[in-house]
Amino acid sequence: MARMNVALQELGHAMPNYKRATLQDEEGPEPAGDGSASPDSVEVGFRKGPGTLLSRLASRSQLELVLCAVAVSLALLLSVAVVTLAIQYRRDPSHSTCLTDACVRVASKILEALDTEMDPCQDFYQYSCGGWIKRNPLPNGRSKWSTFNSIWDQNQAIMKHLLENATFNSSSEAERKTQRYYLSCLKEQRIEELGSQPLMELIDKIGGWNITGSWNQTSFMEVLKSVSGTYRATPFFTVYVGADSKSSNSNIIQVDQSGLFLPSRDYYLNKTANEKVLAAYLAYMVELGTLLGGTPEPTRLQMQQVLDFETQLANITVPQAERRDDEKIYHKMSIAELQLLAPAIDWLDYLSYALAPLELADTEPVVVYGDTYLQQVSDLINDTDRSILNNYLIWNLVQKTASSLDQRFETAQERLLETLYGTRKSCTPRWQTCISNTDDTLGFALGSLFVKATFDRDSKAIAEEMISEIRAAFEVSLDQLDWMDEKTRQAAKEKADAIYDMIGFPDFILDNKELDDVYDGYEVSEDSFFQNMLNFYNFSAKVMADQLRKPPNRDQWSMTPQTVNAYYLPTKNGIVFPAGILQAPFYARNHPKALNFGGIGVVMGHELTHAFDDQGREYDKEGNLRPWWQNSSLEAFKNRTACMTEQYGHYTVHSEKVNGRQTLGENIADNGGLKAAYNAYKSWLQKNGEEKRLPALGLTNHQLFFVGFAQVWCSVRTPESSHEGLVTDPHSPDKYRVIGTLSNSRDFVEHFGCPLGSPMNPDLSGCRSWPRAERSPAPVLTLHTPLLHPPRHTRPHTRHPPQPHPQLGAEHGRQRGCSTPKTQLCPPNPDVLESGTAQCPLRCAPRLRRAGQRGPRESTRAKIPLLLPNNLPEMEAGGHPAPLFPCPLPVQLGFPIHFCWDQRAAAGTLVPSAVGGCRRVYLTIKSSFHLLQQFLVLRGVGAGGEVGSGAVGG
Ligand SMILES: [Zn+2]
């Protein structure tokens, strides 16, 4: 165990330190009286609160009183803590409780997230996440909030500091481009000055638009080539270059269906259910048309025609759930044959243009996914009025580029997003939008900065070791599948052995020359954000063309290093874990292994399993799509997966059913991943012996594994966003990723003692093909579906092409020139504040606890007298948000406690509360720090959850 403890370097541990240090350097003034605090003093830094308190405390005599109170209370606190610890120690003769800082902290976090009033056998998701959900109201401007979002927010804050560093002086041109791009995005005044001009000029350049003026009536092919070749929009279909599924060592041109603006065909076809969305979409189209010079009524008429045309496209678009069998949808043909299939497009002309300067002949092979769709879209193009086609084409360009224009365009988009995703209006800080944009364009150069600043190289070896443990467990479970024949089993093992893992980042990003070469040819200026974006589309088209004659490259990742996600790529038979996800709560060196296996371990198992899900199983160990299963095993596999399709198909969110077919691959991966990770943990225990338990939770380490797994999926989202997820997401809703998986796990059921027939241990005899004895499915895949829930910024890595309109993500909504002050509630995830970065430049509204409001059963509630530094900034009048305490917080090291004011605050006392995350003190005294932690955590437990009145002093 000691060996592992040493080996498992904790990434997350290094990061906060890094961030804190950066903050201090950059944000400047050291508040008085900090830092060199004597070992016995308590330092409290926090944001300002109500004035009465402030003024009272500001008076010196008052201060002295308080100081006195601090000393007394601290002494009291320490003695109580020591006594409590002593009691705890005596009760635990084997001393099997882990009382390190890290253990106490993580125990406290887990406890906060639990709803211990819920019976885990009734609803394990509510049990694991009920407390978290209570403490995490949806932040403004978000349609979903989860662990993934909050880690991404932290990563963004790190990148902000890197790019805004005044002494930024990189020797890499690509990194300098990254900074220029970011700064061009921040220049809002310049963007406002330009208004809609850049796009209007672009439209003129490619032949005009009937909505805003005249247009060149003969140029269908020319406009198509510009819009989708040069500017990478995807009207009608999408074209890209990627590994040939049946010959994975070579790249090939691929064509697939595309062309809808709304997230899926359902939005167009279920008109009654989506009346509001369709109306908002039309209003958005009309607004953009008029902003670009159209007159309202004719614009409305023509946009309605475009919408009707998109509805026809939706009609012939094949639902994702019906496209899961790659063998069926893969059609290789020559350009000449494609021409016969879909004659409305001059394919050789189009592809030669899109892939210039490559020379293509009509014998060039193309893989067509969905030949029926292409045939039908060709007919549709031939049957549609040219002016409608032109309007549709230019609309594709407009929606793709409008988010780089001035605020009026932003506001219009925001309105649409509100209807579509239920996002509440907000003022997303501009920098955050710009970091996301930079990640989308120069993500690997940005990743170079990110990795150099944060990634511990040891993490790579640690992650590799973990993957090999999970792979071994996975292979053992292959042996236990009694329905699999020996030949298939052997091939499956070979495939599992051959899975190639990529961890952290691709090596090229740390080599300046290689990195610069990747972005060579991409022109970036600090002055024109719009032009930077156009240049990028053009550049990415050239990069795509460049790939065609080269073999697929393992160093080419589909996710940037800072991304909080992971994926399996079937054509490479490879799994990728970007640096962004190798941190707490997924993984931390000093966390119990139960949590690491339940976190990143399950993620690893999930990705491995994708190699054998309903899609991934079709690919062999070389990444080639070819039948390698014996018929008998294939039959058995299909029977079992049918059962899983049915199981998940019964789950509902707001009375709407989960699509069991659409989510099958992810569900298989979730189930297989959990099992592999749990078995790997058991093996680890066999080798290393039992771990110490976390304090205060009352959970065995086996139970902790399952709780840790479940808490990764705590999330909140709007009903609109939930609906969107049900119709578009290949993953099940978070709640059922937990409930579905665990209710299939014998190990879970045993460790929580769930009686047969209880919701978490349902009687599955009706689904005989899936006997509990072998509930873990065969292994499984994703084509690129990100293994985890795609966080906001990640373009959905759908199977083949990128999603048509990545810019229309709920989380992409941003707003400039907000009329309201840029005020935010404290971030729901305290880690953002803990990092000391994300929110510091902003203001934070105190979240008031109303009288009578029932407090959470948090374990850290106690009164602590306050010591205010003398240099608090003036507070704002009228109960408005007070400025955040100047960054950095006055103390370097600390145990964060959240505070919310309540009535008692007026008397000079803060009530720490995990509920609001509004107030935070940093206690610096090292000697008492540890004891204080124990005390706070243990108290919560000792009092059976009803705590809150225990004064720690004063
Ligand atoms: Zn997945």
Query: How far apart are the CA of 725 and the centre of ligand 1, in A?
Result: 15
Q: Kindly report whether the peptide bond that precedes residue 357 is cis, defined as omega within 30 degrees of 0.
A: yes
Query: How far apart are the CA of 8 and the centre of ligand 1, in A?
Result: 25
CA distances 765 to 444, 643, 768, Å, are 50, 11, 5
The mean pLDDT of 776-792, rounded to a whole number, is 30
pLDDT surpassing 90 at residue 555: no
Nearest alpha carbon to residue 467 among 505, 497, 509: 497
Residue 68 has a pLDDT of 56
Backbone φ/ψ region at 833: left (φ over 0), alpha (ψ -120 to 50), beta: alpha
Q: Check residues 364 and 947 and name the one with the higher pLDDT.
A: 364
Residue by residue, DSSP assigns 460-501 as HHHHHHHHHHHHHHHHHHHHT-TTS-HHHHHHHHHHHHH-EE
- Name the helix (H) or strand (E) containing 257: strand 247-257
Condensed to tens digits (0 to 9), the pLDDT of residues 313-339 reads 999 999 999 999 999 999 999 999 999
**CATH code 1.10.1380.10 region(s) in the chain:** 196-405
Query: How far apart are the CA of 297 and the centre of ligand 1, in A?
Result: 46
Residue 687 has a pLDDT of 96
Catalytic residue among 607, 720, 729, 834: 607
Residue 14 has a pLDDT of 28
Nearest alpha carbon to residue 155 among 436, 370, 427: 436
Query: How far apart are the CA of 893 and the centre of ligand 1, in A?
Result: 38
Residue 63 has a pLDDT of 52
Q: Check residues 666 and 857 and name the one with the higher pLDDT.
A: 666
Residue 77 has a pLDDT of 66
Catalytic annotation on 670? yes
Q: Please give the Cα distance from 203 to 209 (Å, whole number).
A: 7
Domain range 196-405, CATH class: mainly alpha
Cβ–Cβ under 8 Å, residues 833 and 917: yes
Hunting for tokens 């070819």 — which residue is that? Answer: 626
Mean pLDDT, the chain, whole residue set = 76
Nearest alpha carbon to residue 449 among 645, 170, 234: 170
Query: How far apart are the CA of 370 and the centre of ligand 1, in A?
Result: 23
Query: How far apart are the CA of 577 and the centre of ligand 1, in A?
Result: 12
Query: How far apart are the CA of 768 and the centre of ligand 1, in A?
Result: 26
Confidence of residue 94 (pLDDT cuts 50, 70, 90): low
The mean pLDDT of 872-892, rounded to a whole number, is 27
Query: How far apart are the CA of 87 and the centre of ligand 1, in A?
Result: 46
Q: Please give the Cα distance from 538 to 230 (Å, whole number).
A: 5
Q: Kindly report whether the peptide bond that precedes residue 120 is cis, defined as omega within 30 degrees of 0.
A: no
Q: Please give the Cα distance from 228 to 233 (Å, whole number).
A: 5
Q: Kindly report whether the peptide bond that precedes residue 779 is cis, defined as omega within 30 degrees of 0.
A: no
Strand partners, 898: 920
Amino acid making up residue 296: P
Condensed to tens digits (0 to 9), the pLDDT of residues 50-74 reads 333 333 334 445 555 556 566 666 6
Condensed to tens digits (0 to 9), the pLDDT of residues 673-690 reads 999 999 999 999 999 999
Cβ–Cβ under 8 Å, residues 429 and 822: yes
Q: Which two tokens stand for residue 221?
A: 């092919």
Between strands 500-504 and 574-578, the pairing is parallel
Catalytic annotation on 750? no
Catalytic residue among 153, 410, 670, 734: 670
Residue 344 has a pLDDT of 97
DSSP conformational letter for 755: P
Query: How far apart are the CA of 669 and the centre of ligand 1, in A?
Result: 6
What's the number of CA atoms in the CB half-sphere (13 Å) around residue 519? 28
**CATH code 3.40.390.10 region(s) in the chain:** 455-506+556-799
Neighbours of ion ligand 1 (CB under 5 A): 666, 669, 782, 785, 787
Residue 646, number of CB atoms within 10 A of its CB: 15
Q: Which two tokens stand for residue 415?
A: 């309105």
Condensed to tens digits (0 to 9), the pLDDT of residues 905-935 reads 222 223 333 333 333 333 222 223 333 443 3
939 alpha-carbon distance from chain centroid: 35
Q: Does domain 455-506+556-799 have CATH number 3.40.390.10?
A: yes
Residue 308, number of CB atoms within 10 A of its CB: 13
pLDDT surpassing 50 at residue 715: yes
Condensed to tens digits (0 to 9), the pLDDT of residues 247-263 reads 999 999 999 999 999 99
Q: Please give the Cα distance from 804 to 533 (Å, whole number).
A: 16
Q: Please give the Cα distance from 171 to 482 (Å, whole number).
A: 58
pTM value surpassing 0.85: no
**H-helix segments, 775-841:** 830-834
Query: How far apart are the CA of 787 and the centre of ligand 1, in A?
Result: 3
Query: How far apart are the CA of 666 and the centre of ligand 1, in A?
Result: 5
Classified as helix, coil or strand, 710 is helix
Q: Which two tokens stand for residue 26?
A: 């950059």
Query: How far apart are the CA of 545 and the centre of ligand 1, in A?
Result: 29
Query: How far apart are the CA of 461 and the centre of ligand 1, in A?
Result: 23
